[in-house]
Structure 1
Amino acid sequence: MLDKSLMRSPVQAVLVFTILMGFLPHTLLVFVRELPAVQISVVGPDGPIEGAFITFEHHSFVFQSDGLGHCDIANSLVNRKFAVAREGYFIAHDQLHSKGNTVRLRKISQGDATDYDWVHPLEGEQNCASCHAQIAQQWKQGAHSFSSTGHRFLDMYSDRKKGWSLSRDLPEGKTVCASCHAPGVGAGQPGLEDISEVSGINKLGVHCDFCHKVEGVKKGEVGFAHGRDLLRLSRPEKGQVFFGPMKDATRDDNSFSPIYQQSLYCASCHEGTLFGMHVYSTYSEWQKSPAAAKGLQCQACHMKPDGTMQNIAPGKGGSNRNPMELASHQLMPGGLKQMLQNSILHEEEVIQGAADCMVKVQLKAVNVGHKVPTGYIDRHMILQVRAKFQGEELKPIEGLTLGHWVDKALVGNAGVLFGRPLLNADKQGVQPFWQGGVDIVDSRLEPEMAKSWVWKFPRETESVQVSLIYRPFWKEQELIKGWASQDVMVFEKTLIIK
């Protein structure tokens, strides 16, 4: 109680009131700050769990449990919902109590039930698209959905058309393809020995349920164990489990695995030595790239958030989230052409001298974590420089020209090949990887490294056209097999000489 002597005049009363009001907020703040932290204890069947991730709804910070399974949480988060995730366990959810919480995580059964029936992406009552419609549509439009049935792949695999054929040339090697192109095929099922016979859900190639049954990567040498043979699958004998990158997925059958945010997840199919040839090298290219040095994983480009999707299961229990944190399943955002255009800078210059016309071209691969192009060994790009005078093409006086094995229609033209051609014995043509090759000349663009070339044409040159074309297969095989042209014009520029 205040001493009445302090209240002898109205002025003194006002002064005392002002002093009290000045100190009171600070006193309250100190009291709030000194509220004890609330402890969450995370335990499993075998005792306390260290390193469990604890995330709160609408809160960006991620907490982790210590060696005793404990984690102190600010009292201000009391009554907020939270999730607890740890590799090897199902994700759990709870609401923070003022006296703390003990969260018991259920352990995922060890082993892989090989007789498990895959969940269909699009059909049946419990199909993936029924909850994840937008993601399923993105997957359906991508190459993973037809990896086992793509007609060009099967034309190269089977003996149904003329030209290169793995089945005809090396029948004992036919079984190697299914581990990546139809990874869900089990022992004794159609497609294991001959992928052209694949049936049922396995005709959908690398489907949703297969990808989300990957718990991790086995101990093995990347590039020599392929596809499912390098991946550690965990298919349940009963119940269900789906693995993914989210630490707070809302279903009770979800489990967090860090592999989904690592390039290593992609390596089993995108790095491979087959029949002694280094056919797929994207992962090892990434390992040596500036992107890897910066900590950027494959998913940073090929599962980049599209900025529009806010909920992966709207109306089906999914939570609204920051759209810049939800991975897109458009593995080639904007399509192949746009990705190529975004990854190559080009500069052209024409200098007309007293005796000739000089053309300089510079290319640089940017915004990529691998060489350009990458992937299947036959993929390549062709830089062409074409000079004209009065509508007639002029041959180069000096500079690189294209060989007949690149494209017979382009023989002798000024240009550069970017690829990994497997040359035959006389080095006059290319051959398929299953037949080996006497020489691999890797002339592809290195990430973040500029390359320049110079050509000289007759002085009367009036215009110069510079273009870059991407091709997934060699032109000769495209013609033999009767495929429609797969040329992608990355850029084309015409320079007029005044």
Structure 2
Amino acid sequence: MKIGSGGQVASNPYSASSPFAPSEANSSQRIVFHAGAYPSAGTCGRCHVAIHDNWQSSLHRLSASDAWYLKTKDLLAFEEGAPAVRLCAGCHAPVSLMTGEVGLYSSEAASIREGITCSFCHTLSAVNGGNAKYVSNPGGIRPYPQGDYLAESGIQPAAHLVMLDPAQHRADMLKPFYRTSQFCQSCHELTLNNVKLQSTFSEWAASSYAQKGVTCQGCHFTPGAGPTTEVGRLVEHYPDTRSGILRHSLGGGSVTIGTRDNRSELKDALKLSARVERGRLLVTVRNVLAGHSVPTGVSDLRELWVEVTGQDVNGRKVFHSGHLDAAEGIQPGSTVFHMVLGDESGRPLVRHDIWRARSVLSDTRIPADGQRVVTYPLPTTVRHLHVRLLWRDAPSEFQAIVVQGATRPAAVLTLADWQHESP
């Protein structure tokens, strides 16, 4: 397996000198830190109550404990060896990676399985590309009054406490580049075996959103779907006495384990329209509010598809596409907007075993500012048409083979529907 950042392929990652390989993540000292270097999110939440509560419902919070991630990580450890899971941990469990709790075995300590936490994001000193190519430097964290920070962590305590010098704390924790899209690039861009598997940052960079200066934070850290100029307004459901509090539930991503915001924002991001013309059904799906492709991220898992049902004058089904079969799989030949990865033999990957990927077999996702138009020839007996735009977090094969009942089956969500009655 080869890894790369921003398309640049690295050689012999397992023989690299970094203690974090094959992840391209690194620490400011190029060493593993003591566990106390990163205070828990609960420590931050003692003062930042609204932000902490908001973060608790986020996918960032669940990135290292979600059953789908753990099952996939164990599969990687089984096939490639336990150290290989550091590749996943660079983004899913960065504190575990930085403190050496992952890699020897496939599971990190539960005590620091907080996912992408406050003290990790707010102590990054540099982001140099995808594949978790960041530099983590928790040295700016200063002792907290009545906190659980340990002086024995190896970081020299500063001469003042946070509450005695809040301006210094703000400077430590709010670097200007945290408001740039590049800050998100390291964990939202992934290349393995010279195959671009996740390209959210690149998709944004090629969109009108980037040209207009709308950053990732301009959509994902503000209430509602799409960009807003009110970046500094309060978290809607978590009022705070201070101004400039950004939403930390982020939105988007999973509708199975995410918040209700994810569902509403996904619906708002896409628009469905259709028309009947000369015996054909033309369905258009437009990406109207996402500054990247839909789906994005784990695009080999996310399923966005069109379901069409045609009935005759007596209500009998005479045409269908996009229906689920007995095994909950999408009917072959249906219109599905997603990415299909292939192994070295050109066979589709269905287990999210992305380390086996050697090619992209197809990519039918809907790009930012873009649309897809699909045509269906209709039987002459069709009188009533019902079209639905549907979403599911993962295919039935992945759930049956990898997840194996560890969680409830991924829900099918209706994003939009359209109906038509012919005379």
TM-score in terms of structure 1 length = 0.63
Q: CA deviation at 1:168?
A: 2.5
Aligned to 1:278: 196
Instruction: Give the distance between the partners of 2:413 and 2:90, measured in 1 at CA.
Output: 29
Matched, 1:373 2:288: no
Instruction: Give the distance between the partners of 1:143 and 1:328, measured in 2 at CA.
Output: 13
Question: Rg: which structure is higher?
Answer: 1
Q: CA deviation at 1:136?
A: 0.2
Aligned to 1:484: 408
SS in 2 for 1:196: coil
Q: CA deviation at 1:368?
A: 1.7
Within-5 A mapping of 1:357-368: 357-368=279-290
Within-5 A mapping of 1:195-234: 195-200=106-111, 202-217=112-127, 220=128, 222-224=129-131, 226=132, 229-234=133-138
Aligned to 2:371: 450
Q: CA deviation at 1:327?
A: 1.6
Structure 1: which amino acid aligns with 2:121? C
Q: Which has the higher contact order (CA 8 A, sep 6+)?
A: 2
Q: Specify which of 302, 316, 319 is matched with residue 392 of structure 1.
A: 316
Q: CA deviation at 1:447?
A: 1.2
Instruction: Give the distance between the partners of 1:428 and 1:440, measured in 2 at CA.
Output: 7
Q: Specify which of 70, 92, 95 is matched with residue 181 of structure 1.
A: 92
> What are structure 2's unaligned runs of at least 5 residues?
1-27, 141-154, 160-164, 223-230, 253-259
Deviates more, 1:253-262 or 1:139-148: 253-262
Aligned to 1:99: none
User: CA offsets per residue over residues 443-483 of structure 1, 9 Å max, x none?
Assistant: 10011123222212111112112112222222212133234
Within-5 A mapping of 1:308-457: 308-309=234-235, 320-321=242-243, 325-332=244-251, 335-351=261-277, 357-378=279-300, 379-389=302-312, 390-395=314-319, 409-412=329-332, 415-424=334-343, 425=345, 427=347, 430=350, 432-457=353-378
> What are structure 1's unaligned runs of at least 5 residues?
1-109, 159-164, 242-248
Q: Specify which of 175, 178, 187 is matched with residue 260 of structure 1.
A: 178
Q: Specify which of 157, 181, 186 is matched with residue 239 of structure 1.
A: 157
SS in 1 for 2:409: coil
Structural RMSD (CA)? 3.2
Q: How many residues are treated as equivalent by the alignment? A: 348
Distance 1:205 1:466, change over 3 A: same
Identity, % of aligned positions: 22
Structure 2: which amino acid aligns with 1:265? F
Q: Specify which of 168, 187, 206 is matched with residue 288 of structure 1.
A: 206
On the 8 A contact 2:308/2:385 being kept in 1, the answer is yes
User: CA offsets per residue over residues 350-409 of structure 1, 9 Å max, x none?
Assistant: 34x5xxx4211111101221111101132231112221223432247xxxx66999x874
Aligned to 1:130: 46
Distance 1:403 1:275, change over 3 A: farther
On the 8 A contact 2:51/2:245 being kept in 1, the answer is no
Distance 1:484 1:496, change over 3 A: farther
SS in 1 for 2:214: coil
User: CA offsets per residue over residues 100-125 of structure 1, 9 Å max, x none?
Assistant: xxxxxxxxxx9699335322222xxx
